[in-house]
Amino acid sequence: MKAAVTFLIPIFSLFWAQALVAIVEIEESATKPALPPKEVPYLKVVQLIQGDPMQRQYADSLPSLLAEVRERTTLNVDPFPIYIESLEDEVIFKHPIIYINFADRHDWTLSAGEVKNLKSFIERGGFIFIDAGINALFLRGNVRYGQMHSFADWEVSPEVEEAFRQVYPDQLFEPLPRNDVFFKSFYAGLPDATPLPHSIREFIINEKWPQGTYSAMVLKHKERIAVMVMPIMAMGWGKSEFGQWTTRIGFRVREGVEGLSERLREAAYGGESYETTREDGRTDVIYCETPGMPAWVEEPSGDWRVFRYYHSQEISDYAHTFYTRLGVNLFVYVFSQ
């Protein structure tokens, strides 16, 4: 019996010693303050709206896109922009990007304070994106036309061009090449075009958005792109609280058939004609019977083609996907420079 007792004493001693150490460690850890989780600060986007922010164009679009950027990429972007009414607001110096929908600024004449701030913002590395800042001539009769119709033109709207001439009198906007890294900064190429009707698929792939690109004009500062201007993109970004697209988008397609050029060339016509600039600098002549709605085009080659308009759920979904992918590329490009 004594041997048994002698044998058990070291075991119980070891058990209580280990338990005591464990209790001490628990108590010590309880008294030490827990390290806070590592916080990644939000990346903020400034949106300029001249007037009531509640009246802004496509109110759901930018928040929807920023939420998409946050979900798809490692960028911790705040989905809620910071609204400003003027570029005189000093908050622009706290954040790297300003988004402006062309129609949200009614007067593009910059004040002296805006010129000073904009120049300083750019020289500090800031970036400005102007949505719907490219409006073909036939879309300039009403600001709403440029919100509802995109058209590949390689000429900045005169108001935007004049505004930035106040900041950099000797700088000119130039076309963004289709092989620029911007177009593959996150997504590259077009979405799968299989859902599109066969009759328009080749036009979309080869002419409308070749290689997933879009018409864009840029202003550079010391070889860095500081300002980018495109036709309307916001119409393809907005989602409802239920995740449904908030707009319907159709496609405008150029079509030609044998003998069409001769018939159109000789046709009587009572509408307006407008010149638009191609990527290579040549000119298309657009004919509109209804304001803002092209009916046919005379191309530099001498060929004439008509514009057909196509609508379906598949077309709308495809357009939304394209515009959203391009929008994601925009913010990845800006924040990774």
Residues of the chain with CATH 3.40.50.12140: 46-249+313-335
pTM of the entire predicted model: 0.86
Q: pLDDT value at position 21? A: 41
According to the model, what pLDDT value does residue 189 have?
A: 97
The pLDDT of residue 33: 52
Environment class of residue 290 by beta-carbon count within 10 Å: exposed (0-12), middle (13-18) or buried (19+)?
Answer: exposed
pLDDT value at residue 120: 98
In the CATH hierarchy, which fold is given to the domain comprising 46-249+313-335? Rossmann fold (3.40.50)
Contact (Cβ atoms closer than 8 angstroms) between residue 296 and residue 264: yes
Instruction: State residue 8's pLDDT score.
Output: 37
pLDDT tens sequence across 311-332: 999 999 999 999 999 999 999 9
Distance CA 34, CA 22 (A): 19
pLDDT of residue 265: 73
Cα separation, 221 vs 72, whole angstroms? 30
Output the pLDDT for position 259: 78
Hey, is 159 helix, strand or coil? helix
Is residue 117 within 8 Å of residue 92, measured between CB atoms? yes
Backbone torsion region of residue 144, taken as left when φ is above 0, otherwise alpha when ψ lies between -120 and 50, otherwise beta: alpha
Alpha helices for the chain (secondary structure H): 2-31, 61-72, 112-123, 145-148, 158-167, 198-203, 260-266, 313-335
Low-confidence residues of the chain, pLDDT below 70?
1-41, 268
The phi and psi torsions of 278 (rounded to 5 degrees) equal: -80, 170
Residue 106 has a pLDDT of 94
Q: In sequence order, what are the beta bridge partners of 288?
A: 272, 294
Residue type, 270: G
Instruction: Tokens for 153, please give them.
Output: 């033109």
Q: What's the rounded Cα separation, in Å, for the pair 247 and 235? A: 7
DSSP letter string, 234-281: GGGT-B-TTS-BSS---EEEEE--TTHHHHHHHS---SEEEEEE-TTS
Helix (H) or strand (E) holding 86: none
Residue 252 is encoded by which pair of tokens? 């405008």
Q: Which of 49, 43, 149 is nearest to 95 (CA)?
A: 43
The shares of helix, strand and coil residues in the chain, as percent rounded to the nearest 5, are 40, 20, 40
- CA triplet 212, 131, 295: central angle to 5 degrees? 70
For 160-204, the pLDDT digits (tens) are 999 999 999 999 999 999 999 999 999 999 999 999 999 999 999
Strand order, beta sheet including 272-277:
251-255, 304-310, 293-298, 283-290, 272-277
